[in-house]
Structure 1
């Protein structure tokens, strides 16, 4: 599995921490990942596979705190790992296994079933939802916008003054936009606008249609009345900003983040994360960094500006198309106490499986 570390292991001499300190630190982190609660020296003394008194454990904890790896959330409380400590754990101490057989079978069966019955976007939606459920976080996927050939265009009335313009591509992708209608437009004008566009752009890409906009506009003015022509022009213009090569973002399962709240501060953190996820452009740009690295990436807390307030972690891996090019990333966003050891191989496996579905050469999810 390709994993791109965010920080060098030698930062601040952390890689030189002795084995006893590492074992105590590991217990603090694993307790936090399991419970979200601070752990004290007495509990650690019982858990570690060596004989140490609580006083000796406290001395080691003091050294770990001085190194910036752990902290006390309250006076006389146990200790929790800092973001720096979590990064050290992930890069130097975490044991990454393989996806267990149950999760592997679940992911493979559902993603492959989606590949047989739906579009590429449907496969990505399925993968995102699966990761959300298995990791108990929000599943995220970015995809590069394509420019498929169009199969059908339709204007559908919603309410007085508003309509929906729907584009269906030959590969089954469906997109829609809400559209403001000119005052006094009869419903029959929507049918006329639909017929006009289907006769001219079926089998062409949206880019082709845009390039021929001038000739289409001259036909509009010749063949349609003024109100219907305005509807057609507005329908085409509603896609004018969707250039191929940009990113789309799919986020699934935000509600999973609410299932394991332990305190009011957890609720506030999740609220902040929900606010972050609403800024889809910035989330997409953040995840684009993993595309550029072409390897699995783990962002912890303030390592990324976007999620610094909510204290969230992101685990994402790139997937590839039939030419072997990285075309997007998929993964999980959740609290910093994600089960990294379980989720990292799960995300990596899903990314390789999606690459296999897309026909990437050498992609093997087995």
Structure 2
């Protein structure tokens, strides 16, 4: 079994259902769900009676399926059809019945090799982009990652005037990454104040992150205000505020959307995929959803209308956080696809990918 857990969302509902269903109902439900995840088709009572390990007539199976439908776990997509799991049924299956094993050696080797190859570069973005490409290829879903909480150590800060009312705060990291942030200037601020503010901060950077530098300035506020005039002190506060706030922005990477077109079964499937593509274009909602997976270790599974993002497209997401050498969570990597994702196979893939990315970041790539 996996060495890390995966976290569920509706544990109390699933726990109650598990106690209410007898062994026969659970077994029939399991076969319906597993058949649906494999084929995408509804399952009829006659076919189910032939493959069940217990001796039951089609009529008995049909009665149990009717009870499961009344419980909100199954539904019939149209008259005279077999049954398929509802979103509530899929949640119950994932929470209470999903059996997750280890990846085989070929899969772990491929994940490690592709992430390691990307890790030889200097860009964290290239590492994460390759991880999403690899996941989308392995799972035939869309690979996604959200990041942006990384706090690089700073090498240099400079205030560059653009015009009398605006300046750029130029942030140079130890890794060579450069960010420019626009800053409004108070009327009449002399250029010497920009130079003085930069000199003051650069004398104290010493490899600190922005958040750490801001904390140190706050801690030494009394000495700063006695050493500098109020205009320079105000400029330092404003520069650090706009810089720290900007660094907390989130970046979304999505790869492999075309994979979602490979297994269309009907016109309604195409409509669902179009809705999902529209969802993915709404980056803020995707980022907000992925960010929910940062709460705690392990894999999170989001199914269909449990969240507003997938309420129309009926999609699912499997995601896990990755972290740096200080165990600080830097982002989330995952897979988005239809609700009939192969959860048993994809959960350990996402989990292992997150662990490999974390390991590369711990080693400094």
Please state which band the TM-score falls in when normalised by the shorter chain.
0.7 to 0.9
The answer as to whether partners of 1:320 and 1:360 remain within 8 angstroms in 2 is: no
Aligned residue among 66, 83, 86 for 1:82:
86
Find the aligned partners of 1:275 and 1:72 in 2 and give their Cα distance. Answer: 28
Aligned residue among 280, 283, 295 for 2:286:
283
Q: Is 1:316 equivalent to 2:319 in the alignment?
A: yes
Q: Is 1:171 equivalent to 2:175 in the alignment?
A: yes
Find the aligned partners of 1:150 and 1:100 in 2 and give their Cα distance. Answer: 43
Distance 1:270 1:323, change over 3 A: same
- So what's the TM-score if we normalise by structure 1? 0.74
Find the aligned partners of 2:209 and 2:295 in 1 and give their Cα distance. Answer: 27
* Bigger Cα displacement from structure 2, 351-360 vs 3-12: 3-12
Find the aligned partners of 2:55 and 2:210 in 1 and give their Cα distance. Answer: 70
Distance 1:76 1:84, change over 3 A: same
Aligned residue among 231, 237, 257 for 1:254:
257
* Bigger Cα displacement from structure 2, 244-253 vs 70-79: 244-253
* Bigger Cα displacement from structure 2, 100-109 vs 3-12: 3-12
Partner SS state of residue 358, structure 1: helix
Find the aligned partners of 1:281 and 1:360 in 2 and give their Cα distance. Answer: 31
The Cα of 1:60 is off from its aligned counterpart by 0.6
The answer as to whether partners of 1:138 and 1:256 remain within 8 angstroms in 2 is: yes
* Bigger Cα displacement from structure 2, 287-296 vs 104-113: 287-296
The answer as to whether partners of 2:14 and 2:91 remain within 8 angstroms in 1 is: no
Query: Which segments of 5 or more consecutive residues in structure 1 lack a partner in the other structure?
Result: 152-166, 178-199, 209-213, 216-235, 362-366
Partner SS state of residue 279, structure 2: helix
The Cα of 1:292 is off from its aligned counterpart by 2.1
**What's 1:49 paired with?**
53
Moved over 6 A (4+): 174-177, 203-208, 239-242
Aligned residue among 316, 326, 329 for 1:326:
329
Q: Is 1:266 equivalent to 2:269 in the alignment?
A: yes
Aligned residues: 303
Aligned residue among 56, 67, 72 for 1:68:
72
The Cα of 1:9 is off from its aligned counterpart by 4.7
**What's 1:348 paired with?**
351
**What's 1:25 paired with?**
29
The answer as to whether partners of 2:148 and 2:249 remain within 8 angstroms in 1 is: yes
Aligned residue among 282, 293, 297 for 2:296:
293
**What's 1:307 paired with?**
310
The answer as to whether partners of 1:9 and 1:15 remain within 8 angstroms in 2 is: no
The Cα of 1:325 is off from its aligned counterpart by 1.1
The Cα of 1:241 is off from its aligned counterpart by 9.9
Aligned residue among 133, 142, 146 for 2:146:
142
Partner SS state of residue 29, structure 1: helix
The answer as to whether partners of 1:317 and 1:329 remain within 8 angstroms in 2 is: yes
Q: Deviations over 1:284-330 (max 9, x none)?
A: 11111111233311000011111110000010001111101111110
Q: Deviations over 1:160-209 (max 9, x none)?
A: xxxxxxx99663658899xxxxxxxxxxxxxxxxxxxxxx99x999979x
Aligned residue among 102, 115, 121 for 2:119:
115
The Cα of 1:142 is off from its aligned counterpart by 1.0
Find the aligned partners of 2:40 and 2:110 in 1 and give their Cα distance. Answer: 28
